[in-house]
Structure 1
């Protein structure tokens, strides 16, 4: 029965796939053909090319699919009883989610699968929003597929109704997932200084979805020569969608011990969310310099914190039994208790902050490729999220009120791309004085995908503004790396108001080396800073950077993208050891989506 179901559902998967137009292949056909011809020669070079390069055409699913439209295909199955659920999990290497007949064809792929423990069917079943012998609710199929795809140790997923065995009152469902190689690590060592770092992580320990990560640094030129950090996560405990997190960090200037249990609004129809967290933190805080200081000044801060929040989503009534409204009214309450052991200034006090919020969220998802991944299916969140937050902070020295609001909107279309905008404001009020206020603005545009054969191009444009209003003197902004200019690093350049603009053009190539896909990019960044509550950040020339680089990513592996960048910095601050040109490596992407999932009530962040 399972094999028959696989065959039927596989035919459905293949029917959704698009064939690559032979005309489009002309741009890169000659390059691929020449490399393939060289690999067929019985020479050392030919054997190496054949072992390393992958010449199989990528069978890509059509991009720009609306998950809501896909859902309409299954509306006729709403509220039918789920009679049978068949689950197939595929290993990381050599298998295809679009063609289950494919299998590993060389030693490297087979050896990689031997070292990998495949995800258990029980772990996949725990992610499903539908159950055997229960009615199938609207959105269950689409939301379950998205949740599986967003799991860190799963590369892609398909959930398909077996139309040939479906009756008027019951359905059979086939679930297909493909793993990534969940074990990964990295390291570095300097021959000149003897410094080194070793990192290991496992995203799917024994196929049970447990995540373990550890880092050890040695021979450091700091007060203590070593540092260590460890993290442990267990997802979806007992099919409750509750996640447990444990963290231990012991570094020279930062120490943390924390425990947390959390449940998010993981699905559009989730009713309850919340979290409980306890943490112990010791950190070093950079203080503002005075005119007489010749070096950077730091202060120590240490505190314990207990954090509890609870959220409830209310669904407006829908009079269409085949379709549920995506809009949700969400209520949230949060209590944060902080006790300081060490403070760098008098602006820190023991306090209890009580927050309440009400919000309205509409969210849905599109499916596309080549947004941030290298060909895998990606879920693009769009919708609207509006929230109002109010609270009261009771402290040992003073009490004050908090007010904040936020609005986010995103649209997506296969013809114009993705457009996101956000505006938020928050402030404390103490004795009729507004303090620690922040206005936060953000806009992100991602162009539609341009294609020349198997070469694909996207443009990214990100604009951000963080305006501090009556902030404390020790609260200052940087423009380092993700905060403004990639590759920039300075502890001297700081301010209270910041505006940054980032542009990138990303070219995805058809070249593949041992499963690593290659992309090249160019970028340009600009950031403005000002100090003072009334000064404009545009009074001075911006700090800028221009550069070029390339990325390598294997979607079947757990470690992040490998990226090398050459940046040029025409304006540098005084008393810095930065050079005009800088070659640096990065493992994280610079852009990301903002989901429209309601999160815990919080204070507007200033960083």
Structure 2
């Protein structure tokens, strides 16, 4: 802190030496009284200082490197609700929908035009969202009385769609009848075509072509070609088709066919979530028939060498009850049931102590969830300049299950709790989760785990024209009487980024991740740029000793991310990492050029009952 203060004093001295002043300019007063708040005076001081500093290259560089003016907190949700409340209770007389071009216009300035030939060509190729498709997403209709909270929620739901960049709902009082209001819904699409892919060493690779809004109706289609130079089929395919919001009931269905060297089979899943607290019934499920696969589920951390032939089926349903209807932040109680079934037609050859892991069994579950959720708006967290909806609230979940298992019936218990709130003084966001779960058989606790996670996101700081955030994630997981074949790693979910080791595994893991992100104001060929540096440390090993006595591994690195919010493409990432304490099967230096999927906030939305995953 002393060093930073000294540097600031040096900057002020340089400004004086170059003939500039840093005194705030106070406008002449008239007969009215002008009162300046401390925040306004402080903001005026930094604005004046920045303008003076930018007159010289040296002082301008010093300002960007040293000075970080405070960024006043703006409650965007409160502003939006205040706007809608001006029309609260009025009857909706008309609803108009306008889908904007991908490039050029914005929801705040519809007169803007695409300024490059490639953007104009993309606008012609792209099929805008069908107006009927957008209308099916609306939670209100003509004749309803305007509800400000419902309007805000509707913007959030539409904005969360993968093919929508932004949405704004504008209101206008009817010029003749003051009790009526007209509604204009503006939506801005993302360019719906995308391509992704990657290479895994010199033996395998894949490339995927997809459309997130085919024909403008919100459906998704993807085709992935997967190849391997040694394993058959040498060139395979994975294809999926998703139908969104069937009949306007927010029911999605996804169909898939897979035939690659990894797996062959069919899959279908469907989901009608508790999208808002007004939805009374939620349900969903999936069914997969795999004739050949190396994993029980698509993202299962347990991988086997011998192919399996199996079917996996799951179905759930639940009813929501509002238990605090008059409270500003409604609390809901959800009662749910679910059935999970695994049936193996051909099992892998494994050690006898692991054979129970591949058992034929049916798990009958009941869940009780109490949750509260609300959302606020911010920017530059996981996205690049667009509005992001950050959840606040809590979720407490208790699940009981009965496992009808070919190797002996048993009971299942699971408790989960999570909380997320804006910190006092608007200093950032803090999310916490914790849980314990496992099976009870003949008085013994098996296949159990205890886990906890603390996730902190700092507020957005200003450094010149740049914006800066810090991310901290602390995670602990302990497995209790797990199968030998089940192991935690530091690779899954990037507990140490870029780390890839089959040696650093165990039944217990403690992990700390730190990341500092600088969002740059300039673009690279229309792509937003973010620089990041990270430091990860993880301890992993046996569950028979304290975690602090286990092996430690670290990862240090830096990188750059490129993303265009007008496209459905994933974020492109270039990363260089160093692993000072690395196992024998991991190198000291790691380099990666890949794609990064958009991270999601911890959700407090009630879901169907499922056993907790050990990963």
**TM over 0.5: same fold?**
yes
Q: Which secondary structure state, in structure 2, belongs to the residue aligned with residue 587 of structure 1?
A: strand
Indicate how the Cα distance of structure 1 residues 189 and 312 shifts in structure 2: closer, same or farther if over 3 A, else same. closer
**Match of residue 303, structure 1, among 280, 302, 310:** 310
The 2-side partners of 1:559 and 1:540 are apart by: 40
Select which of 454, 458, 471 maps to 2:469. Answer: 458
Q: Partner residue of 1:102?
A: 112
Q: Does the alignment pair 1:441 with 2:475? A: no
Q: Which runs of structure 2 are paired with 1:386-465 in the superposition (5 Å)? A: 386-413=396-423, 415-465=426-476
Q: What is the CA-CA distance between 1:572 and the residue it aligns to?
A: 2.1
2:158 aligns with 148
The residue number in structure 1 matching 2:30 is: none
Deviations 1:224-262 (A, max 9, x none): 322321111111011111101012222223334211221
Output the CA distance in 2 between the equivalents of 1:140 and 1:382.
Answer: 17
CA contact (8 A) 1:476 1:496 kept: yes
Match of 2:207 in 1: 198
Pick from 259, 268, 292 the counterpart of residue 259 of structure 1: 268
**What are the within-5 Å matches in structure 2 for residues 288-299 of structure 1?**
298-299=305-306
Counterpart residue number, 1:486: 497
Q: How big is each residue's C-alpha offset from its partner over 1:65-119, in whole Å with a ceiling of 9 and x where there is no partner? A: 3536633543464443221111111111111222112112331221110111111
Distance 2:434 2:471 in 1: 20
How many equivalent residue pairs? Answer: 546
Counterparts of 1:185-334 in structure 2, within 5 Å, are: 185-187=195-197, 197-281=206-290, 282-284=292-294, 298-319=305-326, 325-334=329-338
- Distance between the aligned counterparts of 2:77 and 2:608, measured in 1? 26
Query: Is the CA contact 1:63–1:369 (under 8 Å) kept in the aligned structure 2?
Result: no
Aligned counterpart, 1:586: 594
* Alpha carbons 1:161, 1:172 under 8 Å: kept: yes
Label 1:194 to 1:311 Cα distance change in 2 as closer, same or farther (>3 A). closer
Deviation per CA, 1:190-215, whole angstroms, max 9, x where unpaired? 9x969653310100001010101111
CA contact 2:324–2:330 (8 Å) conserved in 1:
no
SS of the residue 2:81 aligns to: helix
**Partner in structure 1 of residue 346 of structure 2:** 342
Distance change (3 Å), C-alpha of 1:311 and 1:403: same
| Cα RMSD, aligned residues only | 2.8
Where 1:542 maps in the other structure, the secondary structure is strand
Distance 2:441 2:479 in 1: 17
The aligned residue for residue 379 of structure 1 is 389
Structure 1, unmatched stretches of 5+, are 1-17, 35-60, 287-295
Query: TM-score scaled by structure 1?
Result: 0.84
Shift of 1:385: 0.5
Q: Is the 8 A contact 2:228 2:261 kept in 1?
A: no
Aligned equivalents of 1:407, 1:26: Cα separation in 2: 52
Match of residue 357 from structure 1: 367
1:521 aligns with 2:532: yes
- Check whether the contact 2:317–2:608 (CA below 8 A) recurs between aligned residues: yes
CA contact (8 A) 2:329 2:374 kept: no
Which residue pairs with 1:51 in the alignment?
none
Whole-angstrom CA distance in 2 between matches of 1:267 and 1:29: 52
**Partners of 2:55 and 2:165 in 1: CA distance:** 28
Establish whether residue 595 from structure 1 lines up as the match of residue 597 from structure 2: no
Further displaced range: 265-274 or 236-245: 265-274
Q: Which runs of 5+ in 2 are unaligned?
A: 1-42, 61-70, 297-302, 349-353
CA contact (8 A) 1:530 1:536 kept: no
Do 2:329 and 2:373's aligned partners in 1 also have CA atoms closer than 8 Å? no
Distance 1:569 1:193, change over 3 A: closer
Instruction: Name the structure 2 match of 1:52.
Output: none
Q: How far did residue 492 of structure 1 move?
A: 2.7
Matched, 1:495 2:506: yes
Q: 1:80 aligns with which of 76, 90, 93?
A: 90
Aligned residues of 2:294 and 2:306 also touching (Cα < 8 A):
yes
Cα distance between partner residues in 1 of 2:51 and 2:108? 21
Determine if the alignment matches structure 1 residue 605 to structure 2 residue 604. no
CA–CA distance in 1 between the matches of 2:396 and 2:53?
46
SS of equivalent residue, structure 2 residue 210: strand
Alpha carbons of structure 1 residues 279 and 219: separation in structure 2 relative to 1, 3 Å: closer
Deviates more, 1:193-202 or 1:241-250: 193-202
**SS of aligned partner of 2:80:** helix
Give the drift of 1:588: 1.7
Between the aligned partners of 2:198 and 2:406, the Cα distance in structure 1 is 47
The structural deviation recorded for 1:218 is 3.1
**Does the aligned pair in 2 maintain the 1:24–1:454 contact within 8 Å?**
no
Rounded to whole Å, the distance in 2 between the matches of 1:71 and 1:316 is 24
Q: Cα distance, 1:387 vs. partner?
A: 1.0
| Aligned 8 A contact 2:196 2:208 in 1 | yes
TM-score by length of 2: 0.83
Match of 1:162? 172
